[in-house]
Structure 1
């Protein structure tokens, strides 16, 4: 079958001005409109058989000549294309979602996001539901264009139809807000989204995490402050995320305040909560508080893990209490927690600074002999 784009190219060839009886000014108008029409159609040609000669005849018949000429309207052309696409999909024995997704992709690549959105909406109204890929394509395009209104609508549609979204979708939402400081618009979006998923806080948690991950800490905290007025409420994951955000930003006092608020709200801290505190307190040299929360862990029956011992061993080493570092290191091995190369390097470095070269060489040899059995980067990943 001859493709639609080839039909149109052939028709333009037949309209060569050397063979046309039309006056040159009138022909130029037709040729210009045909060129616009061809660019629109060629950008979405993915396999549907369309009666193009009929469309073009009708299209040329609508051409306005110098006396009543108006600029070509892209939306009018798009409407005609939509009618053909929708008719073909409706008449198909089984709608081809891959072809429909390809149309959305073509529109997005051409920068015509409104056309892609209209196509998805029209298919939805006709109870033709596409796979999430089509919505993801439009979501990404809206994010890159910073089209907040379109992005919010597509995100909500995805959430309603699919439920569980990928981390990429949340990242696209966060990136879309990088060029705006409109907190009202952001909070309005979060409020609408939370209403769709109430009483679960999972979606809002992932939005907060995405904003923090792309460097928009203040907006992440703004969303968190809004949590109290939402139908869903902060949970353990919410607090752990906020503790991490504040700790990384060096806002230690605020981190400790949120930790206290967490317990006041009746949410028991877990190993992630305590490790977040210990790791960030270590960075600011608060060994006293590290010991307080380490003891609190034991009182609450929470077993320390590799991250816990790493924070404490490094804290004692930096404070000059290398004996306590070694004691904790041996305790960790007795608990059958695999040491990491980072702990060995920390011990060796601190021992050398203190002039305990023989002991440093001992741990260096131990490191080299057990290198393959040491904990790797994956063991330091934050628990979900």
Structure 2
């Protein structure tokens, strides 16, 4: 019936199909033909292989191999001697199931407490096969129902769990069993629908959920639902008299691990230990990962050693995750131990492993050289490392002032095909600038130019990074050298340098740079120098402003309006008004006309000093030098006279303002109103306030409150109320 040369293929097919009934039928056939005893489970005891532990499956395969050998030759002993390697169950497992080692816990969800070593598989006796659940349907019956279950699951997924699908399910499966529920839950996988099916089945007459059906539902809900549902199911499971088994606890551990509940995970693990149930790789990985992520490093270490004692080993991905976690906790001793264990298991470290090792060493002071050795080891094995890992190592080497190694690492990154990003260039430029390695800086800038295809951008970036790192001298030297090479000022680089220096307040360096550039025969544009003067003035640096102003004149730049205006405003605000007025006179002498805003600022400053004569003189000179009055000019002078209680001049200026065709605004009225009010002339103040509002002018909320408070304080509550009413009408 069977040929020996096809025996190995038959065994593979038998195991893959997980068919106990095939074994039973072949065993019965041998018993009828050759008088052998059938030691396999009967029809009522048989079930699918997923209920079996490792020992069960081993015994079944061993029996099957022997029966096949007997059926062909009639001499089991002679065939065993000739074909020992063919029917050895260890090799069948290795070839059919991809079994790696005795520590590969692929059967963690099986009822077996532990996974026996491969060396002990062939010695397992058939007497160790447990009696399976009598309620489990036979394989033949389950195969007949599988098509119905698939159709039913598809219908439920499409239509949902409603009255129609309930009736259809009850019709197709009148004798509902927990196995039907398990299969339908696994097929549907939708948490909400699965809960509805589970609750519906629980309410059916004569039906009772088993631990297995609860496990199926927990498997669907794991990581998808919150703690409340999981806790409710655990309570409901106890009410139904279903005791949690190993699968239940392992499933809950995975679920609570995804919910980031380390305390509950630890409690469930303790329950496993109390029952002497050893979890598998996946469960151990979840436990260690959750504990380490939440700071329970010592406990995670204990669980890892318990896992090793139980004979389980992580896979490569698991080791990478755990090494990374302990590396983040700066536990270098544990990282080294994990790496050694990984190598002992025969697992070859990959790029992720080395990345985790490098990051772990970088977190420890004085371990940067060890991290670099790991990098060289990784690239010698032609492993791929991420750019983020290399950037971190590059930064650490630069911080440790290992300039040569930093540059060497940069070139190694290029050689292995890693494309540098902004962080890479920023780091290498800063480090080379720190070491004053100008020639190497040019090499890096050329790389940046090739990458961006825009030389200006590369130069600007390099200068900005150097200035930000405080390497001002190197940045200035680099820009000067660039200008020498190009034969003219490197515009982009000069702008970046000046902006950086002014932002840092390094005004002496700016002055020195401009002078040095001129000494090398490179004159900056006049507008650029004027911008420097303006930047100094806006910063309030009077000495720096005057220094760069006179340097501009010394270098032969023609005088311009912008430089004078900036100097006048800076001097009047932060320095000497007399000196500011002298600059104002100089502008008139050389034929430059100041801006109206500059004149307004001077008038305002002299009014603040109560020097109304000088303020009026500037006001009168504006027309003669070609500077036009505006509303702001009049407002400054009116406010000055109003504060000086010279009402005649103030009101005359207001009339002159209207004569010139300028329309008064709130800044024209309010100084007069407040000055009159402070002098006790409330009738005039109230009259001006009413006139201002009648002309459609509305002051700010702050000034409105100030006006109302003044009127109320001076005893003009009725006037304040009228003003308030008008303000309310105007919104």
TM-score range, shorter chain: 0.5 to 0.7
* TM-score normalised according to structure 1 size: 0.65
| Counterpart in the other structure of 2:404 | 76
**Where in structure 2 are the equivalents of 1:287-306 lying within 5 Å?**
287-306=612-631
2:358 maps to 1:35:
no
- Contact kept, 8 Å, 1:160 with 1:196, in 2: the verdict is no
Q: Residues 123, 352 of structure 1: CA spacing in aligned structure 2 closer, same or farther, 3 A cutoff?
A: same
- Contact kept, 8 Å, 1:170 with 1:210, in 2: the verdict is no
Partners of 2:662 and 2:412 lie apart in 1 by 65
- Contact kept, 8 Å, 2:593 with 2:626, in 1: the verdict is no
2:490 maps to 1:160:
yes
| Counterpart in the other structure of 1:121 | 442
| Counterpart in the other structure of 2:511 | 187
What SS does the aligned partner of 1:219 have?
helix
Q: Residues 317, 31 of structure 1: CA spacing in aligned structure 2 closer, same or farther, 3 A cutoff?
A: closer
Q: CA RMSD in A?
A: 4.6
2:679 maps to 1:357:
no
What SS does the aligned partner of 2:591 have?
coil
Q: What is the CA distance between 1:163 and its match in structure 2?
A: 8.3
Partners of 2:691 and 2:455 lie apart in 1 by 54
Partners of 2:373 and 2:608 lie apart in 1 by 62
Q: What is the CA distance between 1:372 and its match in structure 2?
A: 5.4
What SS does the aligned partner of 1:245 have?
helix
Q: Residues 229, 360 of structure 1: CA spacing in aligned structure 2 closer, same or farther, 3 A cutoff?
A: same
- Contact kept, 8 Å, 2:530 with 2:563, in 1: the verdict is yes
Partners of 1:73 and 1:351 lie apart in 2 by 70
**Which one of 240, 255, 262 corresponds to residue 565 of structure 2?**
240
**Which one of 367, 376, 379 corresponds to residue 53 of structure 1?**
379
2:419 maps to 1:103:
no
Partners of 1:346 and 1:81 lie apart in 2 by 69
Partners of 2:659 and 2:381 lie apart in 1 by 80
Partners of 1:163 and 1:31 lie apart in 2 by 37
- Contact kept, 8 Å, 1:151 with 1:173, in 2: the verdict is no
**Which one of 483, 486, 501 corresponds to residue 173 of structure 1?**
501
**Alpha-carbon displacement from aligned partner over 1:49-108 (angstroms, at most 9, x marks no partner):** x99624989xxxxxxxxxxxxxx872222223432566799xx9xxx9xx6545334568
**Alpha-carbon displacement from aligned partner over 1:134-159 (angstroms, at most 9, x marks no partner):** 66665555445443213435777697
Q: What is the CA distance between 1:220 and its match in structure 2?
A: 2.0
**Which one of 505, 514, 535 corresponds to residue 210 of structure 1?**
535
2:346 maps to 1:16:
no
- Contact kept, 8 Å, 1:305 with 1:337, in 2: the verdict is yes
Question: Relative to structure 2, which stretch is displaced further, 296-305 or 143-152?
Answer: 143-152
Partners of 1:317 and 1:356 lie apart in 2 by 13
* TM-score normalised according to structure 2 size: 0.37
Question: Relative to structure 2, which stretch is displaced further, 327-336 or 150-159?
Answer: 150-159
| Counterpart in the other structure of 1:44 | none
What SS does the aligned partner of 1:268 have?
coil
Q: Residues 148, 32 of structure 1: CA spacing in aligned structure 2 closer, same or farther, 3 A cutoff?
A: closer
| Counterpart in the other structure of 1:281 | 606
2:627 maps to 1:264:
no
| Counterpart in the other structure of 1:380 | none
Q: Residues 349, 56 of structure 1: CA spacing in aligned structure 2 closer, same or farther, 3 A cutoff?
A: farther
Partners of 2:471 and 2:693 lie apart in 1 by 54
**Alpha-carbon displacement from aligned partner over 1:238-257 (angstroms, at most 9, x marks no partner):** 11111011100240111122
Partners of 2:620 and 2:495 lie apart in 1 by 39
Q: What is the CA distance between 1:210 and its match in structure 2?
A: 2.0
| Counterpart in the other structure of 1:147 | 471
Q: Residues 154, 163 of structure 1: CA spacing in aligned structure 2 closer, same or farther, 3 A cutoff?
A: closer
2:550 maps to 1:225:
yes
Q: Residues 104, 289 of structure 1: CA spacing in aligned structure 2 closer, same or farther, 3 A cutoff?
A: same
Question: Relative to structure 2, which stretch is displaced further, 316-325 or 270-279?
Answer: 270-279
**Alpha-carbon displacement from aligned partner over 1:323-359 (angstroms, at most 9, x marks no partner):** 3222323443554545443333211111113333222
Q: Residues 75, 342 of structure 1: CA spacing in aligned structure 2 closer, same or farther, 3 A cutoff?
A: same
Instruction: Return 5+ residue gaps in structure 1 as ranges.
Output: 1-5, 21-26, 42-49, 58-71, 375-384
Q: Residues 80, 285 of structure 1: CA spacing in aligned structure 2 closer, same or farther, 3 A cutoff?
A: same
- Contact kept, 8 Å, 1:142 with 1:148, in 2: the verdict is yes
What SS does the aligned partner of 2:403 have?
helix
Instruction: Return 5+ residue gaps in structure 2 as ranges.
Output: 1-319, 325-334, 345-360, 384-399, 484-488, 701-731
Query: Comparing both chains, which one has the higher relative contact order based on Cα–Cα distances under 8 Å and sequence gaps of 6 or more?
Result: 1
Partners of 1:176 and 1:265 lie apart in 2 by 34
- Contact kept, 8 Å, 1:352 with 1:360, in 2: the verdict is yes
- Contact kept, 8 Å, 2:433 with 2:441, in 1: the verdict is no
2:630 maps to 1:325:
no
**Alpha-carbon displacement from aligned partner over 1:1-43 (angstroms, at most 9, x marks no partner):** xxxxx9xx99x989935659xxxxxx99x975242578xx9xx
| Counterpart in the other structure of 1:316 | 641
- Contact kept, 8 Å, 1:341 with 1:367, in 2: the verdict is yes
Structure of larger gyration radius: 2
- Contact kept, 8 Å, 2:542 with 2:575, in 1: the verdict is no
| Corresponding pairs, count | 320
Partners of 1:207 and 1:216 lie apart in 2 by 12
**Alpha-carbon displacement from aligned partner over 1:309-332 (angstroms, at most 9, x marks no partner):** 122111211222223222323443
Partners of 1:114 and 1:363 lie apart in 2 by 67
Partners of 1:288 and 1:311 lie apart in 2 by 13
Q: Residues 252, 75 of structure 1: CA spacing in aligned structure 2 closer, same or farther, 3 A cutoff?
A: same
